[in-house]
Structure 1
Amino acid sequence: MSRASRLITLIEILRRHRFPVSAAALAAETGVSVRTLYRDIDTLRGQGADIAGEAGLGYVLRPGFTLPPLMFGEDEIEAVALGLRWVTARGDGDLARAAEQALAKIEAVLPAPLAERLQQQNLLVGPARQEAERIDTASLRAAIRAEIKLDIAYRDGEGVVSRRIIWPFALGFFETTRILIAWCELRGAIRHFRTDRIDNLLRLDQRYPKRRALLLAEWRRQQLERRPVRPQSLNAPDRN
């Protein structure tokens, strides 16, 4: 492993840990001596990494340090570019502009060979028909970030409109539509709302009482419970 690759690996290891990690453990995981590990820590600190700790106590990476984009490999560059171009094509106005700006920032700091690779656009995002929306999904994203309740007018599949007070906590992007995932006070449960069926919305400026992360965890648990169980073998006994 080259020294540059080793430093990247060391940063990624530190990112995985919220509490100090001993020099011995870091050295073992990166395959170097403890003395070399100390030098690597000093090098990363010199490059701007805010690594707290010292020999004998362990080390922890404080938030805020990012690896230079020049450390990206070709596959990573293509993955980032493809993802950002997808958002540019599928996201709402604010999100699309943010993706374009992020791509421009990455391109500006890349070394020439990788910047050229980024500009080639070998991986393309195909066209998709988006259902017309009556609302700006940027307002949904803002409510999700702020954990704010929304009052929406929602049309079901039969065209019947109902008022809902919801706690939005996630937004799913699909090829032809977007799905808002929220707790619905009317139903007393998590529900999925197609954004093209939301006729209007009102931001209530009331924080909902449950944290977004907990709601998302509950939704994920429900999705796992609904997945069909695959039989272990064709001859498995019937347990029904």
Structure 2
Amino acid sequence: MRRADRLLQIIQIFRRRNRITTARDLAEELEVSVRTIYRDMVTLMASGVPITGEARIGYVLEKGYDLPPLMLTIEEIEALVLGARLVGAFSQDDQQMLLATGNALAKIEAVLPEERREQMNLINLVTGVPELRSSGCVDLAILRRIIRTGYKVQISYCDGEGALSNRVIWPLGISYFGMTRMIIAWCESRQAIRNFRLDRIETFIKLETRAPHTRQKLYRDYIAIEKQKGIRAVG
């Protein structure tokens, strides 16, 4: 969890509990050290959040404190809602992404001024995508975690001619083109970036070896090459 997210979460915990809360309580809920919570308290107090208390005793948030409203234009809200609905349409077999999309919209709605909340609930933008090809044996939530943490993966892959091969790849990203989802990855056997269709992957095994840190540069190079080809790659 990023520090900014954790600071926001601490405020939400105070609002939910509405009583004195110790640093140890916060540390256990957020799965960080007590020392980290002490540093976070100093940061929040210095930024003007009305928290009173001290170490080893506990802290309390002043009643009535609320986060400042998120000032978005109606066009910005429409863009966020449309994007979330498109993500939802592309994630019908990806429950973690569906849940994250709904949670994100709920958080945005919670910090909008009342007028904007009403407008958000009246947005009439409909999305639809063709039926997606199966993700097969690949769990998309696990794949995203592997991409974030940089581990290598061993796959058995069936190409367009039906030939099966074993590959060790460095997953760099996931591409969504039409009905097909693919892993963008560096292939060790080909020594090049390749796209692997999820529905053609027969086995998918996470290895305990991390890819080199050059993988981010490889991903940026891939996006640049795709754009040069005239493909509207966004990433």
Counterpart amino acid of 1:123?
A: L
What is the CA RMSD across the aligned residues, in angstroms?
2.5
Offset of residue 121 of structure 1: 3.2
Q: Does the C-alpha gap of structure 1 residues 222 and 123 become closer, same or farther in structure 2, counting only changes over 3 Å?
A: same
Counterpart amino acid of 1:130?
A: L
On the 8 A contact 1:171/1:181 being kept in 2, the answer is yes
Q: Does the C-alpha gap of structure 1 residues 224 and 175 become closer, same or farther in structure 2, counting only changes over 3 Å?
A: closer
Matching of residues 128-143 of structure 1 within 5 Å = 128-134=130-136, 135-143=138-146
**Rg larger in structure:** 1
What residue in structure 1 maps to residue 206 of structure 2? 203
Matching of residues 90-169 of structure 1 within 5 Å = 90-91=90-91, 92-134=94-136, 135-169=138-172
Offset of residue 132 of structure 1: 1.4
Offset of residue 79 of structure 1: 0.4
The answer on 1:87 being equivalent to 2:90 is no
Task: Report the TM-score, using the length of structure 2 for normalisation.
Answer: 0.64
Provide structure 1 residue ranges, at least 5 long, that are not aligned to the other structure: 1-44, 50-66, 229-240
Structure 2: distance between partners of 1:219 and 1:111: 41
The one of 215, 220, 224 aligned to 1:217: 220
Secondary structure, aligned partner of 2:128:
coil
Matching of residues 171-210 of structure 1 within 5 Å = 171-210=174-213
Offset of residue 160 of structure 1: 1.9
Structure 2: distance between partners of 1:199 and 1:48: 55
On the 8 A contact 1:147/1:211 being kept in 2, the answer is no
Identical-residue share of aligned pairs (%): 43
Secondary structure, aligned partner of 1:153:
strand
What residue in structure 2 maps to residue 40 of structure 1? none
Q: Does the C-alpha gap of structure 1 residues 170 and 107 become closer, same or farther in structure 2, counting only changes over 3 Å?
A: same
Q: Does the C-alpha gap of structure 1 residues 112 and 168 become closer, same or farther in structure 2, counting only changes over 3 Å?
A: same
Q: Does the C-alpha gap of structure 1 residues 103 and 203 become closer, same or farther in structure 2, counting only changes over 3 Å?
A: same
On the 8 A contact 1:129/1:175 being kept in 2, the answer is no
Secondary structure, aligned partner of 1:120:
coil
Aligned residues: 167
Structure 2: distance between partners of 1:111 and 1:99: 21
Provide structure 2 residue ranges, at least 5 long, that are not aligned to the other structure: 1-44, 50-66
Structure 2: distance between partners of 1:123 and 1:68: 28
Counterpart amino acid of 1:93?
A: Q
Encode CA deviations 1:66-108: one digit per residue, 9 max, x unaligned.
Answer: x955310000000011111111221222111101111111112
On the 8 A contact 1:85/1:100 being kept in 2, the answer is no
On the 8 A contact 1:70/1:111 being kept in 2, the answer is yes
Q: Does the C-alpha gap of structure 1 residues 224 and 124 become closer, same or farther in structure 2, counting only changes over 3 Å?
A: closer
Q: Does the C-alpha gap of structure 1 residues 226 and 125 become closer, same or farther in structure 2, counting only changes over 3 Å?
A: closer
Q: Does the C-alpha gap of structure 1 residues 227 and 87 become closer, same or farther in structure 2, counting only changes over 3 Å?
A: closer
Counterpart amino acid of 2:78?
A: E
Q: Does the C-alpha gap of structure 1 residues 175 and 120 become closer, same or farther in structure 2, counting only changes over 3 Å?
A: farther
